[in-house]
Amino acid sequence: MAAARVLARGVRLGSYSIGRSRSLIFNTVQGRGIAACIDPSIGLTDEQKDFQKVAFDFAANEMAPHMAEWDLKEIFPVEAMRKAAQLGFGGIYVNPDVGGSGLSRLDTSIIFEALSTGCVSTTAYISIHNMCAWMIDTFGNNEQREKFCPDLCAMQKFASYCLTEPGSGSDAASLLTSATLQGDHYILNGSKAFISGGGDTDVYVVMCRTGGKGPKGISCLVVEKGTPGLSFGKKEKKVGWNSQPTRAVIFEDCAVPVINRLGAEGEGFSIAMKGLNGGRINIASCSLGAAHASVLLARDHMCVRKQFGETLSNSQFLQFKLAEMATKLVASRLLVRQAAVALQEGRPEAVSLCSMAKLFVTDECFSICNQALQIHGGYGYLKDYAVQQYVRDIRVHQILEGTNEVMRMIIARSLLTES
Ligand SMILES: Cc1cc2nc3c(=O)[nH]c(=O)nc-3n(C[C@H](O)[C@H](O)[C@H](O)COP(=O)(O)OP(=O)(O)OC[C@H]3O[C@@H](n4cnc5c(N)ncnc54)[C@H](O)[C@@H]3O)c2cc1C
* Extents of the domains making up the chain: 2-153, 159-268, 276-417
Q: Is 405 in the pocket of ligand 1 (CB under 6 A)?
A: yes
266 contacts 211 by C-beta, under 8 angstroms: yes
Q: Is 170 in the pocket of ligand 1 (CB under 6 A)?
A: yes
- Please report the pLDDT score of residue 147 as a whole number: 98
pLDDT for 181 beyond 50: yes
pLDDT for 409 beyond 80: yes
Q: How many residues does the chain have?
A: 419
- Cα–ligand 1 centroid distance for 238 (angstroms): 15
pLDDT band at 34 (very low <50, low <70, confident <90, very high): confident
pLDDT for 13 beyond 80: no
pLDDT for 380 beyond 70: yes
Terminal Cα distance for the chain, rounded? 44
Q: Is 288 in the pocket of ligand 1 (CB under 6 A)?
A: no
Choosing from 324, 401, 405, 418, the catalytic residue is 401
Output the pTM of the full model: 0.94
Q: What's the topology of domain 159-268? A: Butyryl-CoA Dehydrogenase, subunit A; domain 2 (2.40.110)
Catalytic annotation present for 401: yes
pLDDT for 11 beyond 80: no
- Cα–ligand 1 centroid distance for 126 (angstroms): 20
Which residues lie across from 230 on neighbouring strands? Answer: 251
| Domain 2-153 homologous superfamily, CATH | Acyl-CoA dehydrogenase/oxidase, N-terminal domain (1.10.540.10)
Q: Which of 76, 165, 170, 358 to mutate to test the pocket of ligand 1 (most atoms within 8 A of CB)?
A: 170
371 contacts 326 by C-beta, under 8 angstroms: no
Residue type, 181: L
> Are 159-268 and 276-417 in the same CATH fold?
no
Q: How far apart are CA 415 and CA 419, in angstroms?
A: 8
- Cα–ligand 1 centroid distance for 401 (angstroms): 8
Residue 272 is inside which H or E element, if any? Answer: helix 268-304
- Please report the pLDDT score of residue 308 as a whole number: 98
- Cα–ligand 1 centroid distance for 405 (angstroms): 10
Give the up-direction half-sphere exposure of residue 86: CA atoms within 13 A in the CB hemisphere. 8
Class for domain 276-417, per CATH? Answer: mainly alpha
